[in-house]
Amino acid sequence: MNSLPDRLAQIVGPSNVIPTPEPASPYLNERRGLFHGRAAAVVRPGSTEEVAAVVRLARETGAPIVPQGGNTGLVGGGVPDEQGGAILLSLTRMNRIRAVDPEGNTLVLDAGATLAQARRAAEDVDRLFPLSLAPEETCTIGGNLASNAGGLAVLAYGSMRDFVLGLEVVLADGRIWNGLRTLRKDNTGYDLKHVFTGSEGTLGIITGAALKLFARPRAVATGLAGVATPETALALFRRARAEAGPMVTAAEIIPAFGMELAAMKLGRELPLPSAPAWYVLLEFSSVSPAALTDVMQRVLEDAIEEREASDFVVANSESSRKTLWAFREAMSDSQGLAGASIKHDVAVPVADVPAFIRQAHEAALACVPGCRPCPFGHLGDGNIHFNISQPEDMAPEAFIDRWEEMNAVVHGVVARFNGSIAAEHGVGRLKRDLLTSVKSEVELDLMRRLKSALDPEGLLNPGVILPPR
Amino acid sequence: MNSLPDRLAQIVGPSNVIPTPEPASPYLNERRGLFHGRAAAVVRPGSTEEVAAVVRLARETGAPIVPQGGNTGLVGGGVPDEQGGAILLSLTRMNRIRAVDPEGNTLVLDAGATLAQARRAAEDVDRLFPLSLAPEETCTIGGNLASNAGGLAVLAYGSMRDFVLGLEVVLADGRIWNGLRTLRKDNTGYDLKHVFTGSEGTLGIITGAALKLFARPRAVATGLAGVATPETALALFRRARAEAGPMVTAAEIIPAFGMELAAMKLGRELPLPSAPAWYVLLEFSSVSPAALTDVMQRVLEDAIEEREASDFVVANSESSRKTLWAFREAMSDSQGLAGASIKHDVAVPVADVPAFIRQAHEAALACVPGCRPCPFGHLGDGNIHFNISQPEDMAPEAFIDRWEEMNAVVHGVVARFNGSIAAEHGVGRLKRDLLTSVKSEVELDLMRRLKSALDPEGLLNPGVILPPR
């Protein structure tokens, strides 16, 4: 008998089976170093049929399959475990734009195409694909679909799930489901695309997608306001919504601590003179030409009059616009400047964001005195990245040792608001065992029934999402 | 042993078990007379716990359960078959608004609440619940969810599925899944709400829902334009979209034949002097106060200059606005004035609507010479109600005898465009057997796996959606 890598090479060609552990290392390790996987083989199929053939071989040999896109995930959902028996299946060779229809506002593409490719394909026909994530040049559409990615444009456009018109999926038994429809309405039976979207590669391997495109904004206004508290940040967001309605396309909250780290990372001054305790980054956009900068100016002047904001700046050029966003986008990376950090991707109802931030802050400090919470993110949709930097006088390792304890504390506060402990990054391996504490037995049972129905042998991405019984 | 009705009375009280066949007749017959069902009992539980108890009793006795909302469905999905063994479970007693949160833009309510109740609950706090269907005073939120209802606002807001934040569902084994979350983002595992939405009561019984609310429009403009062909109708829609982007909240196409029947039904003159072959009803709306009537006037003047439109009228008052919509809303009912009709609820990609209408028209005439197609509906989302009135000189029964043949002809044209034969009304009993011709074996198998996973004994709404093997 040939070895598994040899048999895989017969399917995809020898150059598309990457030897393990080296040079396959970039496929096997999670980027932040939280997960180090091992695999029997790393394989890069070039077509849907090749993916199906790999799955059939895996089934025959009993090898689990871990599908992977750009390996930019934050919960370990795209790397294998340490047992070493899995086939890592990278979709990155499958990166064709299959069809763009500016009339119908649809885009059909391979799952291994990057988010940036999708955005450019839309721009080339004067349309917008709205998903907006920092790693857009690396992350793939398939990974975005598998994790139901959120990002910076959820408030106006929704999450990845909301952009899906159809999918092509290789099933656990190696059959191909061609559900690549571009219809806006279709009620012919159960909605299978929503079953696979967000299932993190555990129910099927997404190989292609038909996505919605949108009109490109013709006018954009971006501003940054200083506010005293999360409550005033929320008041400012409400004011913006009342005035500009669905033109409010982003409302991000950032604490002074985070802005200071970002300023250090970017080598820039803080953008507001009053050194406020909190910042709100607002963006308005409109597909009609409109004086949005004037609208934003008026909203922010009113906010100052009503003592919601201390001061503000509105971008007057594309470069000043990019500078304001640079602070927000530096938020994750710059936190390393303050040592080790423990991160939480949580969501609560929008109206509860201020109370959540206050209570989680207190709870984190009670857990590790001197720790420095840096809660930032999507005020407008209730999704807060409650990241916590270590105390200044603590060893990084000692702080990281408190990871699970701190998780329990912060997630306990999330539970008070009936919130989510995995708002936009998914469950993966990282949060799998936490599901038992936040999901009812009924809900876990329903999830297991779906898994058994679609992957009865448990070959697809085992260990991800579903906690062991 | 007590009889089934007696045992049901112990759960819901004797007054909430309606004797069959009379006075239960309104529950057992589909409103248009296409389906006449029989049942062992009609039961009206008053709480989620009572629904669960009924399901447990059904399971114990082996009686199938047919859940029903307002019984306004158009595909026979809410009435039992003629075997007479089923329990018809009406949700209409469960009609409480449970919670309204204008800050978070959420509405939590019982599944038996009517669509009109939901819309009023939103209006009471200055918000919009956008689903818009003619039978809003009768149809229920649970029925809207089970069928993933579409309607007049899909272009701007989406279908019912797009409004769902969380569900409460009684499962086939009588357990209750409480998934009533009001979060905007939650990626903690498989998205179960999307599994139950659109499943027409075959996977679980929806008893409660958490829905999204939206800002209420502050400005609305409504206009009606005459155009020569479906191609020019599409050109006009594109022009409107290019100018007004997401403010285009409706774009409905109506043929002259349909307008004439509606005018007769309404006792009104045709609204445009040029007697065009086709009409396009356009609505723009905006949550900001805006001179939308001016924008629409300009768009339509440009369309005349470019010879896309022959003439137009823009409503200058709320009453003239209602008059324009009255023609569109009379479209279904008024068709009876032209005798018997055979109806199709289909969707194709938006750009293919003109070619579809042309080809389906030809195909229908070739099938039954002299028949009078009346294709109308949602130009903006590609969902056309391809209704066909009988030839003037034919007996109604003779025309209705050609129902299946005509279906095959029209659906054959739909297939050329990779379209949907059940765009917004669902599958029910009416289109169940057609699924074998439009779905792949793989897709039908996936649907059956979901059914087996969630309702292994097949007690929930048997005979709906899934064709027999």
Three-state SS annotation for chain B: CCCHHHHHHHHHCHHHEECCCCCCHHHHECCCCCCECCCCEEECCCCHHHHHHHHHHHHHHCCCEEEECCCCCCCCCCCCCCCCCCEEEECCCCCCEEEEECCCCEEEEECCCEHHHHHHHHHHCCEECCCECCCCCCCEHHHHHHCCCCECCHHHHCCHHHHEEEEEEECCCCCEEEECCCCCCCCCCCCHHHHHCCCCCCCCEEEEEEEECEECCCEEEEEEEEECCHHHHHHHHHHHHHHHHHHEEEEEEEEHHHHHHHHHHHCCCCCCCCCCCEEEEEEEEECCCCCHHHHHHHHHHHHHHCCCEEEEEECCCHHHHHHHHHHHHCHHHHHHHHCCEECCEEECCHHHHHHHHHHHHHHHHHHCCCCEEEEEEEHHHCEEEEEEECCCCCCHHHHHCCHHHHHHHHHHHHHHCCCECCCCCCCCCCCHHHHHHHCCHHHHHHHHHHHHHHCCCCCECCCCCCCCC
User: pLDDT tens-digit profile of A261-289?
Assistant: 999 999 999 999 999 999 999 999 987 77
Task: Please tell me the predicted confidence (pLDDT) of residue B33.
Answer: 83
Mean predicted confidence (pLDDT) in A88-108: 96
Task: Please tell me the predicted confidence (pLDDT) of residue A55.
Answer: 98
**CA nearest to B20, candidates B72, B77, B83:** B83
Flag the least confident range among A99-108, A154-163, B243-252, B434-443: B243-252
Per the CB < 8 A criterion, the answer to whether A98 and A208 are in contact is yes
Neighboring chain A residues of B106 at a CB cutoff of 8 Å: 349
Q: How far is B28 from chain A (nearest CA, A)?
A: 23
> What φ, ψ does residue B119 adopt, rounded to 5°?
-65, -40
Per the CB < 8 A criterion, the answer to whether B184 and B86 are in contact is no
What pLDDT band is residue B241 in, cutting at 50, 70 and 90? confident
Cα separation, A222 vs A249, in Å, equals 10
Of A105-114, A233-242, B1-10, give the range with the top mean pLDDT: A105-114
Buried b / exposed e across B402-414, counting CB within 10 Å, b at 16+?
beeebbebbbebb
The verdict on a CB contact (< 8 Å) between B442 and A171 is yes
Cα separation, A395 vs A373, in Å, equals 17
The sign of the CA dihedral A99, A100, A106, A110 is positive
Cα separation, A300 vs A277, in Å, equals 17
Task: Please tell me the predicted confidence (pLDDT) of residue A245.
Answer: 81
User: pLDDT tens-digit profile of A42-53?
Assistant: 999 999 999 999
B contact residues 248-307, partner A, Cβ 8 Å cutoff: 286-288
Reported as half-sphere exposure (CB side, CA atoms, 13 A), residue B276 has a value of: 24
What pLDDT band is residue A1 in, cutting at 50, 70 and 90? low
Q: How far is B381 from chain A (nearest CA, A)?
A: 6
The full DSSP string for A220-275 is: EEEEEEEESSHHHHHHHHHHHHHHHGGGEEEEEEEEHHHHHHHHHHHT---S-TT-
What pLDDT band is residue B1 in, cutting at 50, 70 and 90? low
Q: Does A178 touch chain B (CB under 8 A)?
A: yes
ipTM of the complex: 0.94
Q: Which of B75, B170, B186, B187 to mutate to test the interface with A (most CBs of A within 10 A)?
A: B187
Residue B121: count of CB within 10 angstroms of its CB = 21
Residue A26: count of CB within 10 angstroms of its CB = 12
Mean predicted confidence (pLDDT) in A142-162: 95
The CA-CA-CA angle for residues A317, A321, A324, to 5°, reads: 140
Cα separation, B142 vs B149, in Å, equals 10
pLDDT at A290 over 80: no
The verdict on a CB contact (< 8 Å) between A194 and B189 is no
The percent of residues above 70 in pLDDT, for chain A, comes to 100
pLDDT at A24 over 80: yes
Q: Does B125 touch chain A (CB under 8 A)?
A: no
Q: How far is B269 from chain A (nearest CA, A)?
A: 33
Neighboring chain B residues of A446 at a CB cutoff of 8 Å: 171, 177, 190, 192, 454
- Gyration radius of chain A over CA positions: 23
HEC-encoded secondary structure of A339-377? CCEECCEEECCHHHHHHHHHHHHHHHHHHCCCCEEEEEE
Per the CB < 8 A criterion, the answer to whether A181 and B345 are in contact is no
Which is it for strands A65-68 and A87-90: parallel, antiparallel or unpaired?
Answer: parallel
Task: Please tell me the predicted confidence (pLDDT) of residue A34.
Answer: 86
| Tokens describing residue A399 | 């702080």
Cα separation, A139 vs A160, in Å, equals 13
What pLDDT band is residue A241 in, cutting at 50, 70 and 90? confident
Neighboring chain A residues of B424 at a CB cutoff of 8 Å: 185, 187
Q: Does A147 touch chain B (CB under 8 A)?
A: yes
The verdict on a CB contact (< 8 Å) between A150 and B454 is no
Q: Does B31 touch chain A (CB under 8 A)?
A: no
Q: Comparing B405 with A31, which gets the higher pLDDT?
A: B405
Neighboring chain B residues of A245 at a CB cutoff of 8 Å: 215, 286-288
> What φ, ψ does residue A50 adopt, rounded to 5°?
-65, -40
Residue of B nearest to A347 (CA): B185
pLDDT at A2 over 90: no
Q: Does B148 touch chain A (CB under 8 A)?
A: yes
**CA nearest to B290, candidates B368, B218, B346, B354:** B218
- Output DSSP code: residue A468: P
Can you name the residues that pair with A345 across neighbouring β-strands? A385
What pLDDT band is residue B469 in, cutting at 50, 70 and 90? confident
Per the CB < 8 A criterion, the answer to whether B376 and B331 are in contact is yes
Residue of A nearest to B103 (CA): A351
The verdict on a CB contact (< 8 Å) between A243 and B181 is no
Residue of B nearest to A434 (CA): B188
Task: Please tell me the predicted confidence (pLDDT) of residue A242.
Answer: 82
Domains of chain A: 4-90 (3.30.43.10), 97-215 (3.30.465.10), 219-329 (3.30.70.2190), 339-416 (3.30.70.2740)
- Output DSSP code: residue A29: B
Based on DSSP, count helices (H) and strands (E) in chain A, helices before strands.
17, 19
Average pLDDT along chain B = 95
